[in-house]
């Protein structure tokens, strides 16, 4: 028997072609798309406006799969973290960070990450593979299932309002699948998250930045974390391949001629490494030199066992922020969320695999809510 085709791996065009191949009219494909992405259906038998014959054919040839939830935790501040498992038992994390009347879902793009940033827990785990389109889109669908947000309510009542591609993995190293997944997520006849509400973060794969932004139309964030190549190369090995200057040039090219394109520079403050006033001054000169319109997101470091870094003192973080703000850059200090549930990227996965080593059977993995 030939293997069933996973429908959530297909772009809209591909799904339409697939259904037309079954001898069905285009509007049937449109209805199917809406069942999957507007209503969140996972079972063909629910799709009552499709003929029984078509539902049976779909059942025979296709699947609509969600990643499996193997563990989840909810913090006292309502930050919600899931450990998700795919068909081949590989796992990634997803986090929902609620604000007062909205919130962002942080999704992963790879199992592990090959970039090996020294401060990052995911970077300390080996890179295994890219996520498929289905696995990327499926994460957000799991969150919608959990918060009962099908079909898409209006923006006013939507709690899962934003997406940040800031989970495990480097999205620009899995660009084809990420582009396809974001096009599905932002399609207005389906999940319908506006491109302005999606932010993709990269560690700075300079030659792919412009292409990635052209193909997705989402917002850009750069994990900068250092004002010069010496410091950046110490903490981010990828900097040896793509220097800060190359990243800045790509950012300037992306912004050319479009004043609405602001870039967020993420800046993790590591004690005695990149957190001094002279580093803030150097950052200002750098952005001015390349005429980049940007804001900073100052991130308090979330330490993990064996990382070898410490978070900066609060006072130093505040001074750093003030220097940037005086120069005209917004530089809010990110509030640490989900501290009690190890919300830094990669930590739940590591914790679970250590536990798993101790336990004899995977059945012993229990929900931690
Ligand atoms: N690979 C992409 C996107 C995922 S990482 C990138 O690097 O941009 C998303 C963010 O998590 C990065 O800005 C990274 O610096 C941050 N991060 C990683 N480890 C962290 C830690 N221990 N504490 C706080 N933030 C961390
Ligand atoms: Fe990968 Fe981003 Fe972590 Fe660096 S910070 S190791 S690029 S996930």
Tens of pLDDT, residue by residue over 38-85, are: 999 999 999 999 999 999 999 999 999 999 999 999 999 999 999 999
pLDDT for residue 357 is more than 80: no
Whether ligand 1 lies within 6 angstroms of the CB of 173 is answered as no
**Spatial CB neighbours of 48, under 8 Å, sequence gap ≥ 6:** none
Q: b vs e for 31-54, b when ≥16 Cβ sit within 10 Å of the residue's Cβ? A: bbbbbbbbebbeebeebeebeeeb
**Spatial CB neighbours of 208, under 8 Å, sequence gap ≥ 6:** 172, 175, 202
Q: For residue 126, which phi and psi values (nearest 5 degrees)?
A: -70, 150
Q: What is the pLDDT of residue 335?
A: 85
Task: Record the pTM.
Answer: 0.93
The mean pLDDT of 334-351, rounded to a whole number, is 67
In tens, the pLDDT along 228-243 reads 999 999 999 999 999 9
Nearest CA to ligand 1 atom 20: 120
CB atoms within 10 A of CB 350: 17
5: Cα separation from own chain's centroid: 25
Q: Is the dihedral of CA 37, 39, 42, 44 positive or negative?
A: negative
125: Cα separation from own chain's centroid: 17
**Spatial CB neighbours of 127, under 8 Å, sequence gap ≥ 6:** 110, 111, 112, 113, 114
Nearest CA to ligand 2 atom 6: 123
Please indicate whether residue 355 or residue 148 has the higher confidence score (pLDDT): 148
Q: Which is catalytic among the residues 85, 93, 149, 266?
A: 93
Q: b vs e for 3-23, b when ≥16 Cβ sit within 10 Å of the residue's Cβ? A: eeebbbbbebeebbebbeeee
Ramachandran category for residue 328: left, alpha or beta (phi over 0 → left; psi -120 to 50 → alpha): left
Please indicate whether residue 366 or residue 339 has the higher confidence score (pLDDT): 339
* Site residues for ligand 2, CB cut-off 6 Å: 113, 115-117, 120, 122-123, 168-170, 203, 223
**Spatial CB neighbours of 173, under 8 Å, sequence gap ≥ 6:** 110, 114, 115, 130, 205
Candidate from 92, 119, 120 with most ligand 2 atoms within 8 A of CB, to mutate: 120
């Amino acid at each position: 028997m030939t293997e069933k085709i996973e429908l959530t791996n297909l772009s809209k065009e591909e799904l339409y072609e697939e259904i037309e191949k079954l001898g069905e009219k285009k509007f049937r494909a449109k209805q199917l798309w809406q069942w999957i992405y507007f209503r969140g259906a996972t079972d063909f038998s629910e799709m009552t406006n499709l003929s029984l014959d078509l539902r049976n054919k779909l059942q025979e040839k296709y699947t609509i799969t969600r990643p499996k939830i193997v563990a989840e935790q909810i913090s006292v501040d309502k930050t919600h973290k899931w450990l998700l498992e795919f068909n081949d038992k590989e796992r990634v994390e997803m986090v929902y960070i609620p604000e007062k009347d909205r919130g962002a879902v942080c999704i992963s793009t790879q199992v592990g990450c090959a970039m090996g940033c020294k401060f990052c827990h995911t970077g300390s785990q080996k890179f295994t593979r890219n996520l498929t389109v289905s696995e990327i889109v499926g994460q957000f669908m799991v969150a919608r299932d959990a918060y009962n947000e099908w079909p898409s309510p209006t923006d006013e009542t939507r709690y899962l309002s934003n997406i940040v591609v800031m989970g495990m993995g480097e999205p620009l190293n899995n660009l084809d699948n990420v582009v396809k997944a974001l096009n599905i997520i932002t399609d207005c006849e389906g999940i319908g998250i506006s491109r302005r509400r999606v932010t993709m973060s990269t560690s700075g794969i300079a030659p792919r930045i412009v292409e990635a932004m052209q193909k997705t139309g989402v917002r850009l964030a750069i994990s900068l974390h250092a004002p010069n190549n010496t410091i950046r190369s110490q903490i981010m090995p990828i900097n040896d391949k793509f220097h800060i200057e190359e990243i800045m040039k790509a950012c300037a090219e992306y912004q050319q001629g479009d004043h609405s394109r602001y870039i967020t520079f993420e800046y993790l403050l590591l004690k005695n490494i990149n957190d001094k006033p002279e580093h803030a001054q150097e950052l200002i000169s750098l952005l001015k030199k390349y005429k980049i319109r940007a804001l900073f997101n100052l991130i308090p470091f979330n330490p993990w066992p064996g990382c070898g870094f410490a978070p900066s003192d609060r006072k130093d973080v505040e001074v750093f922020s003030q220097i940037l703000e005086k120069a005209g850059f917004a530089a809010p200090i990110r509030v640490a969320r989900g501290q009690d549930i190890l919300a830094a990227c990669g930590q739940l996965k590591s914790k679970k695999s250590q536990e798993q080593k101790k336990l004899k059977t995977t059945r012993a993995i229990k929900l931690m809510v």
